[in-house]
Amino acid sequence: MAKGIWIYADHAEGKLRKVSLEILSEARRLADKAGEEVAAVLLGSGVAGLAQTLGYYGADKVYLAEHDILKDYRVEPYSKVIADLISQNQPSIFLLGANINGRDLAPRVAARVKTGLAGDCTTLCINDQGLLQINRPVYAGKAYVDVVCPEARPQMATIRPNVMPLNAPDEAHKAEVINITPQVADMAIGVQIKEIVKDVSGMVDLTEADTIISGGRGMKGAENFAILEELAVLLKAAVGASRAAVDSGWRDQRFQVGQTGRVVSPKLYIACGISGAIQHLAGMRTSKVIVAINKDTEAPIFNIANYSIVGDLFKVVPVLTKEFKEKLSG
Amino acid sequence: MKLIACIKEVPDTATQIKINPAGTEIIKDGVEFIVNPYDEYAVEECLRIKEKFGEGEVIAVCMGPTRATEAIRKCLAMGVDRAVHLCDPAFEKSDTYATAKALAKAIEKTGFDLILCGKQAVDGDGCQVGAQIAELLGIPGVPLIIKLEISTDKKTAIAHRQVEGATEVVEVKLPALFTCQKGLNEARYPSLKGIMGAKKKEIKFFTPADLGEAPGSFGEAGSLARMVKLSLPPTRQGGRKMEGEPEEISKELVKSLMEQDKVI
Ligand SMILES: Cc1cc2nc3c(=O)[nH]c(=O)nc-3n(C[C@H](O)[C@H](O)[C@H](O)COP(=O)(O)OP(=O)(O)OC[C@H]3O[C@@H](n4cnc5c(N)ncnc54)[C@H](O)[C@@H]3O)c2cc1C
Ligand SMILES: Nc1ncnc2c1ncn2[C@@H]1O[C@H](COP(=O)(O)O)[C@@H](O)[C@H]1O
């Protein structure tokens, strides 16, 4: 019988991604209720050092696969190694972060081991039948769906970053490391990484940000985003944009929030000069606290904002930044 | 070259979603359907590749109800040469795995050198079907591309893809599947001539039998993940309206965010 809750430990530049620790925390909570074991799957080259941290966050076991071929994430070898591991060990549940790698890897692994997958989940529970029941947004958060995987195993889900609370690390909790020899040496791999061009912006990425400050058409020009960036640096926030701002060429498309951009749920979302079209709301309506600054009292964004500031953003934002500066330094 | 674009019809993004009382599906009355926005990039890119090489055939593959013919016609009007429509009640309520299985079979039957999908369908927001088609066909799959260049010998491609905080440049052996992200291109509008011409273009219909499969291979019976229920999100009430001098508003807001909401 399938047993154990597994997570995929995604990492970049020698560090575990925050989402990996979030899903590990969630796996630990589920496992404690069900009396099961938690295992993390760690692939890469020279990453053994990360295993300990996985233990602190709740992993009982770490399956460690190291190989030159696994140095950078690539879906073909990664999905093969993980699918092999799953076939050998038959876990009951397998969770991945719904970040870029996770959303690429999970469907490929699921198709390979022929199991059901629920993507970008926001809550999980074990239901009355003992099945993993997940809840996930569809139509960009305009509706939610509950999904189960009744027969096939493992029950797979990717989990949206920033929604699962982190456990406090417990340095007494040690993981047993199981070294495995990945069967990848003679694999035909169709994708070769030529180059990784880092963003020079140095800005916090939208997915992992606790605070997002977004600008829309009301920003009037690319150069004016400097006032949002100043506040963002202060609050360690990411800067997002409406599609109107992206289509005007003021911000890169990767920062677009909305139904056809990124769907985000930070603790705090500050919308500046954004009207609140349904496609924009779809991408940010699950934020914990929403602040909207708009000079139009009728702007639809005010219908969902916790704080509706009616005013000129060019007057409000600089003063708000000053106020934060004083409060945070004091 | 056979260039495949997988296209899905989805509710217009401006649609206010309503759900039937049983919580099993959205209410489709009065809903307008469009080509999934990301799939338009896939169609556009196929057309550009064909134009660049001056040869090839662009084929749209769509699984969906009879109504989806309209979305298919739009793609034909954009310049797609012909379409394959997986249209049968047995396909309804497929999960992403059953969908990918059906599409992969249809694509295999049609023949392919390159497959382009959208990064996700903006109805179920699954983000899975592309990767699963690639897996089922045993070909490389590269998600989230914003640039694609096919080599002159058509054996490889260079793609730029978005990852967190960086752009990855990859070289890919063809045939391969790519999923398209905004930024790849600007999709064209159908011309009047295109719209007229679309009416005469071929749409081939496929049932499970045409794919050599039992009806139970698809739809709910062929799915691994099951929907329990659909629901609407809790409605969000507008909160405090703040008007007045920026200084006062800012003081009040910062205090509230830090002390009451504790989000900073
Ligand atoms: C298929 C499709 C997909 C889409 N996907 C997305 C998506 O993913 N994300 C997205 O955002 N949109 C999306 N849209 C577009 C969406 O419908 C809106 O057009 C867009 O969100 C509007 O952006 P905006 O609010 O910045 O601009 P506008 O609607 O023009 O609003 C600008 C606002 O700024 C305010 N303003 C102006 N000057 C000031 C000032 N000095 N101080 C304060 N306020 C000021 C105005 O009062 C106004 O409310 C999509 C549309 C379609 C058709
Ligand atoms: N029913 C379908 N018919 C044709 N293509 C589809 C269908 N479902 C998904 N796709 C393709 O797969 C992509 C990802 O879909 P999804 O995994 O549902 O988000 C879409 O953008 C389409 O290109």
Per-residue confidence (pLDDT) for residue A186, from 0 to 100: 87
Residue nearest atom 30 in ligand 1 by C-alpha distance: A217
Model pLDDT for residues B16-25, shown as the tens digit of each residue? 999 999 999 9
CB contact (8 A) between residue A100 and residue B183: no
Is residue B187 one of the residues assigned to a domain? yes
Model pLDDT for residues A270-316, shown as the tens digit of each residue? 999 999 999 999 999 989 999 999 999 999 999 999 999 999 999 99
Per-residue confidence (pLDDT) for residue A197, from 0 to 100: 92
| Domain span holding position B200 | 2-217
**How far away, in angstroms, is B187 Cα from ligand 2 center?**
17
CATH code of B62's domain: 3.40.50.620
Per-residue confidence (pLDDT) for residue B165, from 0 to 100: 83
Distance CA A229, CA A233 (A): 6
Per-residue confidence (pLDDT) for residue A203, from 0 to 100: 74
Q: Is the CB of B150 under 6 A from ligand 2?
A: no
Mutate to test the pocket of ligand 1, among A262, A275, A291 (most ligand atoms within 8 A of CB): A275
Residue nearest atom 41 in ligand 1 by C-alpha distance: A312
Per-residue confidence (pLDDT) for residue A162, from 0 to 100: 85
At A31 the three-state DSSP class reads helix
Distance CA A294, CA A288 (A): 19
Is residue B29 one of the residues assigned to a domain? yes
Mean pLDDT of A72-97: 97
| Range with the poorest average pLDDT among A288-292, B152-156, B238-242 | B238-242
Per-residue confidence (pLDDT) for residue A322, from 0 to 100: 97
Q: Specify the DSSP class assigned to residue A220.
A: -
Per-residue confidence (pLDDT) for residue A91, from 0 to 100: 98
Contact A142, A136 (CB under 8 A): no
Ligand number nearest CA of B177 is 2
Q: Is the pLDDT of residue B71 over 90?
A: yes
Per-residue confidence (pLDDT) for residue A185, from 0 to 100: 86
Q: Taking the CA atoms of chain B, what radius of gyration do you get in angstroms?
A: 22
Model pLDDT for residues B89-111, shown as the tens digit of each residue? 999 999 999 999 999 999 999 99
Per-residue confidence (pLDDT) for residue B149, from 0 to 100: 98
Decide: pTM greater than 0.90.
yes
Q: What is the domain count for chain B?
A: 1
Domains of chain A: which residue ranges? 5-180, 206-329
Pick from B164, B167, B174 the residue to mutate for testing the A interface (most A CBs within 10 Å).
B164
Model pLDDT for residues A246-261, shown as the tens digit of each residue? 999 999 998 999 999 9
**How far away, in angstroms, is B129 Cα from ligand 2 center?**
5
DSSP conformation letters of chain B:
-EEEEE--EEE-TTPPP-B-TTSSSB--TT--EEE-HHHHHHHHHHHHHHHHHT--EEEEEEE--GGGHHHHHHHHHHT--EEEEE--GGGTT--HHHHHHHHHHHHHHH--SEEEEES--TTT----HHHHHHHHHT--EEEEEEEEEE-TTSSEEEEEEEETTEEEEEEEESSEEEEE-TTS--PPPPPHHHHHHHTTS-EEEE-TGGGT--GGGSTTTT-SSEEEEEEPPPP----EEE-S-HHHHHHHHHHIIIIIS---
CATH 3.40.50.620 is right for the domain spanning A5-180: yes
Per-residue confidence (pLDDT) for residue A329, from 0 to 100: 87
Provide the residue type at B139 as one letter: I
- CB contacts, 8 Å: B136 with chain A: 111
* Cβ-proximal residues to B13 (8 Å cutoff; 6+ apart), any chain: A140, A259, A260, A278, A279, A282, B34, B37, B122
Distance CA A239, CA A206 (A): 7
Determine contact: B129 vs chain A, CB below 8 A: yes
Pick from A193, A291, A315 the residue to mutate for testing the B interface (most B CBs within 10 Å).
A291
Q: Is the pLDDT of residue A201 over 80?
A: no
Pick from B15, B20, B120, B170 the residue to mutate for testing the A interface (most A CBs within 10 Å).
B170
Per-residue confidence (pLDDT) for residue A53, from 0 to 100: 97
Distance CA B187, CA B118 (A): 12
Per-residue confidence (pLDDT) for residue A137, from 0 to 100: 94
Mean pLDDT of A59-85: 97
Model pLDDT for residues A110-138, shown as the tens digit of each residue? 999 999 999 999 999 999 999 999 999 99
Determine contact: B196 vs chain A, CB below 8 A: no
Strands A11-12 and A155-159: unpaired
pLDDT confidence bin for A326, thresholds 50/70/90: very high
Per-residue confidence (pLDDT) for residue B137, from 0 to 100: 98
CB contact (8 A) between residue A147 and residue B122: no
Structure-token pair, residue A22: 């979030």
Model pLDDT for residues A142-190, shown as the tens digit of each residue? 999 999 999 999 999 999 988 899 999 999 999 999 999 999 988 999 9
- Whether a cis peptide bond, with omega within 30° of 0, leads into B175 is yes
Provide the residue type at B193 as one letter: K
**How far away, in angstroms, is A135 Cα from ligand 1 center?**
29
Is residue B75 one of the residues assigned to a domain? yes
Q: Which residue has the higher pLDDT, B203 or B162?
A: B203
- Is the sign of the CA dihedral A9, A11, A15, A21 positive or negative? negative
- Whether a cis peptide bond, with omega within 30° of 0, leads into B190 is no
Determine contact: B175 vs chain A, CB below 8 A: no
pLDDT confidence bin for A199, thresholds 50/70/90: confident
pLDDT confidence bin for A28, thresholds 50/70/90: very high
Structure-token pair, residue B257: 């965010």
Per-residue confidence (pLDDT) for residue A200, from 0 to 100: 74
Task: Name the CA dihedral angle for B160, B162, B168, B171, rounded to a multiple of 10 degrees.
Answer: -40
pLDDT confidence bin for B234, thresholds 50/70/90: confident
Contact A239, A113 (CB under 8 A): no
Q: Closest CB to A107: pick one of B38, B132, B264.
A: B132
- CB contacts, 8 Å: B253 with chain A: 291, 307, 309, 320, 323
Domain A206-329: give its CATH superfamily: TPP-binding domain (3.40.50.1220)
Sequence length of chain B is: 264
**How far away, in angstroms, is A14 Cα from ligand 2 center?**
34
Is residue B223 one of the residues assigned to a domain? no
Q: Is the CB of A310 under 6 A from ligand 1?
A: no
Distance CA A27, CA A8 (A): 11
